């Protein structure tokens, strides 16, 4: 079982409107609602790949109830979310049917109390120590009330339980988390630059490893992935430029890396899978989902090459 942690889960709403015009009134023509937050998205892709996944983090209020009801209908997903008194946040994507452009509105999320955080830590440590747990992903932003060093704590608990742990977050939670020596971090170009101060991917990736991460997999948008690991360095690139909606492409890459890790695949195969899943997500008509046919087609054609950067 793979465990994904989403401390700031969300009920993701999508509204379709004929055209978004600020300061006017709109009739929404189509409403979709689904469980969200980065770790939940990763779990959904892992489950689609055939893995059993347990989802933890927080959920509360009527939005939390809606999220859990929908999770319960998804195959291979186990809900281990910890209840909070506050209501789970909503995120709203308003899609302009005329242009296809999206306007995003994200609620901040409920404030987590110290007692709720302590209850989560208890539950997380049990899940991490469970003999069936093969890998852990820690994903996304922290809700108000959770200490900024939260991910460092969760990484140390995973390492104590001897379970490989991947971190995908940004800002100060990423900085603190990297120092706790996670097995993998997966920053995008902006997150990597914010962490290291360098906009040069190879230099920044090396720097991120020096800060404590055993392996760094940088997602570089259409340029694919750059990985520096204890086993070597690689670049993995999609065979062609894929057009579409990049929402969720990073989460699909995380799912590719984790599923490959759990299956014991060597790094080049994990990276190929992550790039193909990511590109198949960009190409899919529904944001955050991936098209299995596109995935299979791309998987065989991802170019993985050695990357042995000069030392700084």
Distances 115 to 85, 112, 194 between C-alpha atoms, Å:
11, 8, 32
Nearer to a second copy, 172 or 207 (CB): 172
251 catalytically annotated: yes
**Residue 246 neighbours by CB distance under 10 Å:** 13
Query: Which of 106, 123, 134, 170 is in the footprint of a second copy by CB under 8 A?
Result: 106
Query: Which of 66, 80, 179, 222 is in the footprint of a second copy by CB under 8 A?
Result: 66
Q: Confirm or reject binding of residue 98 to a second copy (CB under 8 A).
A: no
Distances 312 to 61, 110, 199, 245, 295 between C-alpha atoms, Å:
51, 43, 14, 36, 36
Distances 54 to 40, 80, 102 between C-alpha atoms, Å:
9, 6, 31
Query: Which of 25, 73, 311, 312 is in the footprint of a second copy by CB under 8 A?
Result: 25
Distances 208 to 81, 102, 121, 192, 215 between C-alpha atoms, Å:
31, 32, 27, 8, 9
What's the DSSP call for residue 131? T
Q: Which residues pair with 6 in a beta bridge?
A: 57, 139
Q: Confirm or reject binding of residue 104 to a second copy (CB under 8 A).
A: yes
Tell me how far apart the alpha carbons of residues 103 and 140 are, in angstroms, rounded to a whole number: 20
Catalytic hit among 12, 183, 251, 291: 251
Instruction: Determine contact, residues 212/180, Cβ cutoff 8 Å.
Output: yes
Nearer to a second copy, 48 or 71 (CB): 71
Site for a second copy in 26-45 (CB under 8 A): 26-29, 31
Q: Confirm or reject binding of residue 17 to a second copy (CB under 8 A).
A: yes
Q: Binding mask 46-65 vs a second copy (x if CB under 8 A, - otherwise)?
A: ---------------xxx-x
Nearer to a second copy, 27 or 241 (CB): 27
Cα torsion 261, 267, 271, 273: sign: negative
Query: Which of 22, 75, 264, 285 is in the footprint of a second copy by CB under 8 A?
Result: 22
CB of 287 to a second copy, least distance (A): 13
Binding positions for a second copy, rule: CB under 8 A: 15, 17, 20-29, 31, 61-63, 65-66, 69, 92, 94, 96, 99, 101-108
Residues identified as active-site:
251
């Amino acid at each position: 079982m793979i465990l994904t942690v989403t401390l700031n889960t969300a009920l993701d709403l999508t509204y379709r409107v004929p055209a978004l015009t600020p300061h006017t009134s709109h009739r929404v023509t189509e409403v979709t609602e689904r469980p969200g937050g980065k770790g939940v998205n990763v779990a959904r892709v892992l489950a689609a790949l055939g893995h059993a996944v347990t989802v933890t983090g927080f959920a509360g209020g009527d939005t939390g109830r809606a999220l859990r009801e929908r999770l319960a209908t998804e195959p291979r997903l186990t809900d281990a979310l910890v209840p909070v008194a506050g209501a789970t946040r909503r995120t709203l994507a308003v899609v302009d049917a005329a242009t296809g452009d999206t306007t995003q509105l994200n609620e901040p999320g409920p404030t987590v109390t110290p007692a709720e955080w302590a209850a989560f830590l208890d539950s997380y440590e049990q899940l991490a120590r469970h003999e069936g747990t093969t890998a852990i992903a820690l994903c996304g932003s922290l809700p108000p009330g959770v200490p900024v060093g939260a991910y460092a704590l969760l990484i140390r608990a995973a390492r104590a339980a001897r379970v490989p742990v991947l971190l995908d977050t940004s800002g100060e939670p990423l900085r603190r988390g990297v120092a706790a020596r996670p097995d993998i971090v997966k920053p995008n170009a902006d997150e990597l630059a914010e962490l290291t101060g360098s906009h040069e991917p190879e230099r920044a990736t090396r720097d991120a490893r020096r800060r404590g991460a055993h392996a760094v997999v940088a997602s570089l948008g259409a340029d694919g992935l750059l990985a520096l690991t204890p086993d070597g360095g690689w670049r993995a690139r999609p065979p062609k430029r894929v057009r579409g909606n990049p929402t969720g492409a990073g989460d699909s890459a995380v799912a590719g890396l984790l599923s490959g890790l759990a299956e014991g695949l060597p790094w080049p195969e994990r990276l190929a899978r992550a790039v193909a899943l990511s590109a198949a997500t960009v190409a899919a008509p529904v944001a955050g989902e991936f098209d299995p046919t596109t995935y299979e087609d791309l998987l065989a054609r991802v170019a993985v090459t050695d990357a042995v950067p000069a030392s700084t």
